[in-house]
Structure 1
């Protein structure tokens, strides 16, 4: 069982981990305690290719100073040679006698550090403040589980399922409270995806903004899908991050390139993708079964169809040709946002979105 000093050190290690960047590698913090429970050193991981948290902490001590110490780490010490050596070996070489970690490493090539330490006679305890660590590493853990970034698809619609009026105008279906919620969620994402149709129709900045118009500190990478060019004066050109423009080829057909896009984003360190549409892009991700969360902002308004059947539905073809193949969702919550409703849903238990 973890001591009071170890619990306090783990909380501090979690705060240290948050200083590191969110990306390909996990955010990890470490604290080294003396046998008396005093802090000897601390460290955190600063990104791919830099020292891991344990090694960062050890580097601040003189040779032999860590002998008999306890290492408090937010993630199980790694057991593989990547750009850096195994942290489990570094701890052994330093003479650490006890290791306390929050959660096991789900990355198979890196896992096994706890077992290696125990085999060498080090006392090891896992699961300390595990829930807090999972919350911190939620996005990274999702990537390890899914082998791709976590995908949220969002759209706004009228009560009768329309995303825009017959002429294509869609500003604004929902009210200020709903739009504020969208921007807050954008700030939690690493990339935001739209099609050129939406870009050309609405000219979105694709930034995450506070109600006063100022930018959140965290901004998603703007990703634009479609063969049409992005105008030089488009609002997205002023985004603080460079636009990633991909053709979007086949997104409307039977073989969407959504998987290859997600693989590219994963290699860039993206953990959470926020797909804002429009209907063609959202439908492509849904059709490919690449959606983990659906956000639907429903406004109490009716748009109907235009003359000559000019409809602007919230979604397009999903591969549902018969009621037996409908894509069911499990609703997680329904939240009022001013006059609007936000419905949050996830893939149904049978694995169909």
Structure 2
């Protein structure tokens, strides 16, 4: 028999196998029989597929009757593309449920209450470390459910003196291959990559995810352009390599509302300075990932546009959460300090 903490850790490990950028959360489940022996493990493989509980119960079969389900997120209690996990647990004869995070989704929540009302022993995880791990597992999805908008990561690449391009507009490449590969890994983790029309007209970016050998990755994030100027018909963003959404607005809140409607819970804001400034002014940047190259230009565009700040006391302050060296370039991850 495994201790409960070990079972929850196994469920967390299983959840990590799910797609991070999927509209649905990553969830893992471990099912034991009535004697505490593990008889099934499952994870959610993406929208429209069996939920973690259903996958684990299928692996367990009749051995689940009288047993325990240990799951990283509260079992859902609504019918979407699939049926409610609460019904699956009840039909399988599960008698005990342990879960690590309450589901904040207004439609899916309430599973714990329904199961307890049916006579099951239902307990929210008490170990703070395991609960924190389960929160981190779906940090951006939980943020979107709790705030009503996607989590926004602003990514920028700058020289040591804060320039994003030379005076003539050239910017390829400020950073080296390792940093650029890291950007593609970051894109692979999000549901959408966002730029303004100014960046499209100036740089004609593809905004796709590519492997180290330059080949396109199997899964591509939604490419999003925000602004009032038209996107040229021959722009690479319209090449069919990935889905593209054009949002005709300069209002960051309207952009995020459009992405919420598409199930996006993590947005990577890549450019340019004007759009980044609009999101910062609106308080809609949750994380900043800055790639700093040991390069000096002395002139050229700055990383962010007008923030309407006139004195140092009004500065946007950031708290550094990680610093990583990438073959000479430095990746700095930080979060705005909310007051």
Q: Which band: TM-score by shorter chain?
A: 0.7 to 0.9
Structure 1 residue 121 corresponds to structure 2 residue 119: yes
Equivalent in 76, 85, 92 of residue 78 of structure 1: 76
Q: C-alpha offsets along residues 191-241 of structure 1, whole Å, 9 cap, x if unaligned? A: 111122222322222112233223334422111223444344433334532
Aligned to 1:294: 288
For 2:213 and 2:75, the matched residues in 1 are separated by: 43
Aligned to 1:254: none
Aligned to 2:321: 332
Q: C-alpha offsets along residues 259-313 of structure 1, whole Å, 9 cap, x if unaligned? A: 11112212212121111101111111111110011122223333334xxxxx522
For 2:24 and 2:239, the matched residues in 1 are separated by: 29
For 1:130 and 1:258, the matched residues in 2 are separated by: 32
Q: Is the 8 A contact 1:330 1:349 kept in 2?
A: no
Q: 1:32 to 1:160 in 2, by over 3 A?
A: closer
Aligned to 1:15: 14
Aligned positions of 1:178-197 closer than 5 A: 178-197=179-198
Q: CA deviation at 1:59?
A: 6.4
Aligned to 1:32: 31
Structure 1 residue 274 corresponds to structure 2 residue 268: yes
Q: 1:333 to 1:57 in 2, by over 3 A?
A: closer
Q: SS where residue 274 of structure 1 aligns?
A: strand
Q: Is the 8 A contact 2:27 2:43 kept in 1?
A: yes
Q: CA deviation at 1:341?
A: 2.6
Aligned positions of 1:226-265 closer than 5 A: 226-238=227-239, 240-247=241-248, 249=249, 251=250, 257-265=251-259
Q: Which has the larger radius of gyration?
A: 1
For 1:6 and 1:332, the matched residues in 2 are separated by: 28
Q: C-alpha offsets along residues 179-200 of structure 1, whole Å, 9 cap, x if unaligned? A: 2222221112211111222223
For 2:153 and 2:88, the matched residues in 1 are separated by: 39
Comparing 83-92 with 153-162, which one deviates more in the overlay? 83-92
For 2:227 and 2:308, the matched residues in 1 are separated by: 21
Gaps (5+ residues) in structure 1? 252-256, 306-310
Structure 1 residue 313 corresponds to structure 2 residue 302: yes
For 1:316 and 1:124, the matched residues in 2 are separated by: 51
Q: CA deviation at 1:35?
A: 1.5
Aligned to 1:203: 204
Q: SS where residue 310 of structure 2 aligns?
A: coil
For 1:165 and 1:60, the matched residues in 2 are separated by: 58
Q: 1:179 to 1:86 in 2, by over 3 A?
A: closer
Aligned to 1:213: 214
Q: TM-score with structure 1 length normalisation?
A: 0.81
Q: Is the 8 A contact 1:221 1:242 kept in 2?
A: yes
Q: SS where residue 100 of structure 2 aligns?
A: strand
Q: Is the 8 A contact 1:21 1:47 kept in 2?
A: no
Aligned to 1:308: none
Aligned to 1:101: 99
Q: SS where residue 260 of structure 1 aligns?
A: helix
Gaps (5+ residues) in structure 2? none
For 1:336 and 1:65, the matched residues in 2 are separated by: 50
Q: C-alpha offsets along residues 86-106 of structure 1, whole Å, 9 cap, x if unaligned? A: 433443344321112232223
Q: 1:217 to 1:8 in 2, by over 3 A?
A: farther
Aligned positions of 1:118-157 closer than 5 A: 118-127=116-125, 129-157=130-158
Q: SS where residue 75 of structure 1 aligns?
A: coil
Report the number of matched residues.
Answer: 336
For 1:32 and 1:329, the matched residues in 2 are separated by: 43
